[in-house]
Structure 1
């Protein structure tokens, strides 16, 4: 069964299938890459909770930066956010994002926690 949450015409914010949660790309507010990354990851946290998952269950993350020169600044925030020993498979690339003010977008796939 496929479950879609917060579904609109174009996309769903969360799609759950076979014990996996797929989150739509998240962006954040702020003037710097660090600010936007922190805000973006806060949004990821909220969606993970709603999906029945958390940071320790992230399987894969795809990070898009508007400028790869911002890689170290984004990583400084990312490294503090990811729980030690639970780093997901991750890719990072440069892409033109949906709006000029955006500096980072993160797409996450996570396992849904098993009920105990």
Structure 2
């Protein structure tokens, strides 16, 4: 087994890859919008685009996601969040998902997303 930490900072890594030989697990840390002044749909789109980009660095796609946790600052944003999620998540490849109302670290953030993906060995 080999554990690789990507974009490691003093408190957390943006993504951790666990290479099990025949498969790898990718753990993405909580992702927030670069532009927190966006509304919930804008923040969702920005975060999901970033997740796509991070997965691509490891040869993965959103079809490889196995688990996602979505943290919402306001549960009233649930329907708007789901409208963006439903456009993004591929039919037939929906991951296990939990959505939680939470006080986020910065009051401008409306949503934070944490994800895990499973992919084959390093090509």
**TM-score relative to the length of structure 1:** 0.94
Q: Following the alignment from structure 2 to structure 1, what is the Cα–Cα distance between the partners of residues 60 and 109?
A: 26
For residues 69-89 of structure 1, the C-alpha deviation after alignment (integer angstroms, 9 at most, x for no partner) is 000000000000001100000
The SS at the match of 2:113 is strand
For residues 89-114 of structure 1, the C-alpha deviation after alignment (integer angstroms, 9 at most, x for no partner) is 00001001110100000001001245
The farther-off stretch of 81-90 and 49-58 is 49-58
After TM superposition, what 4+ stretches of structure 1 lie above 4 angstroms from structure 2?
none
* CA-atom RMSD in angstroms: 1.3
Q: Following the alignment from structure 1 to structure 2, what is the Cα–Cα distance between the partners of residues 51 and 99?
A: 29
Q: Following the alignment from structure 2 to structure 1, what is the Cα–Cα distance between the partners of residues 82 and 94?
A: 12
Alpha-carbon offset, residue 31 of structure 1: 2.3
**Does residue 22 in structure 1 map to residue 23 in structure 2?**
no
**TM-score relative to the length of structure 2:** 0.89
Alpha-carbon offset, residue 8 of structure 1: 1.0
The SS at the match of 1:25 is strand
**Does residue 61 in structure 1 map to residue 68 in structure 2?**
yes
- Unmatched runs of 5 consecutive residues or more in structure 2: none
Q: Following the alignment from structure 2 to structure 1, what is the Cα–Cα distance between the partners of residues 6 and 108?
A: 27
For residues 32-68 of structure 1, the C-alpha deviation after alignment (integer angstroms, 9 at most, x for no partner) is 1000000010111111111331110000000000000
Instruction: Indicate the residue corresponding to 1:2 in structure 2.
Output: 3
